[in-house]
Structure 1
């Protein structure tokens, strides 16, 4: 009987050890909630309609991130993606509305982040939106952020922000009779990088590359 119990005990220890090694070796990017909205329409030219942006080869980029390391990683990742499409990224810290319709606009807004350091693995995560406007509609984002009254971001408020950005931008572009109305928005709740203790990895870079991959998809769209 004692030998059976000992064998079972050793088996349990081996299984737990294998599970621990698997967790400690894990590395990847995951999200509890993510989605994208894309709208593209080119209105027939006619009296009163205008083309935007003024310089389609320039991309004005605004990154609103919770820490310097993440912001730097995102800037580097977006730089690679935009340049691969033959575009010139310009990173701005002043109000993005100053660049309205002057060039394409990319805004990364990440108001929430967290860090969990466990025994076997560490996690760093963010929540927020990626906004891309081909005609360079920066005004919609600026006005929407000023009008928001959100004491604490939740998955629902982030989802609603993404929906409003998409719908309000299209409405504004139509009202101002802008020909190209291409707008894309993606959002994430708990977009997190998981790095096991047995693996080497930069969670900031992992998240940045995930966001850049989404922008790459937007830039390659119609």
Structure 2
């Protein structure tokens, strides 16, 4: 009986240690991540420069979750300011700002939140679109032409590829010389915070997205 009691106590201790370890975990993970980047600056007769104001960044955030949207706003503002740029949030149709300033669009149509006994987990799926010349029209036209009833890993990846390739085609066709375009995509970008850790999973996701924008800005 004493041996069984000792084994039982040992099991309790082991499970307690595991629980504490899980409750102390914190991090950002993704089931799928990728990016497409293109940059070219052809010049000569007939080519024109865009955008009109390269120091202004017009930002559209298409995110149903209000708390996540606010976290993304704050994170993007910090990044754009660190590059000496002026950020303008867009409420009107994004096409109103076509080629007027740099364009950033965060499209995260899917999100989830899970409250567990040991941790809180939040996640999103979608794309980040960055266009130095401010090609807003390509995004708007592509979204209107899509026939997708439910986003999947495949449709998100396809959207990212089509955004990049369609924008480059438009800029070449219209002889826009500044052709820097970047698109990142995530499927189940998740932030997990243990109950014993301090942290906001929405802010962690927002910072991950802002970090990607930072990389695009550095390369443009």
Q: Which band: TM-score by shorter chain? A: over 0.9
Does the CA contact (< 8 Å) of 2:164 and 2:182 recur in 1?
A: yes
Structure 1 residue 8, shift from structure 2 partner:
2.6
Provide the residue aligned with 1:50 in structure 2: 48
Distance 1:128 1:173 in 2: 24
State how many pairs are aligned: 220
Distance 1:187 1:47 in 2: 36
Structure 1 residue 47, shift from structure 2 partner:
1.7
Distance 2:155 2:15 in 1: 40
Provide the residue aligned with 1:144 in structure 2: 142
Structure 1 residue 66, shift from structure 2 partner:
1.5
Counterpart of 2:121 (choices 120, 123, 131) is 123
Per-residue Cα deviation, 1:42-74 (whole angstroms, up to 9, x for no partner): 11x222110000100000000011222111111
Structure 1 residue 41, shift from structure 2 partner:
0.8
Distance 1:181 1:28 in 2: 35
Structure 1 residue 104, shift from structure 2 partner:
0.3
Structure 1 residue 179, shift from structure 2 partner:
0.4
Does the CA contact (< 8 Å) of 2:112 and 2:122 recur in 1?
A: yes
Distance 2:150 2:48 in 1: 39
Provide the residue aligned with 1:202 in structure 2: 200
Provide the residue aligned with 1:183 in structure 2: 181
Structure 1 regions of 5+ residues with no counterpart?
Answer: none
Provide the residue aligned with 1:66 in structure 2: 64
Alignment of 1:25-174 (within 5 A): 25-43=24-42, 45-174=43-172
Please tell me whether residue 14 in structure 1 is matched to residue 7 in structure 2.
no
Structure 1 residue 122, shift from structure 2 partner:
1.1
Distance 1:24 1:205 in 2: 19
Structure 1 residue 114, shift from structure 2 partner:
0.6
Structure 1 residue 11, shift from structure 2 partner:
2.1
Provide the residue aligned with 2:22 in structure 1: 23
TM-score (norm 2): 0.97
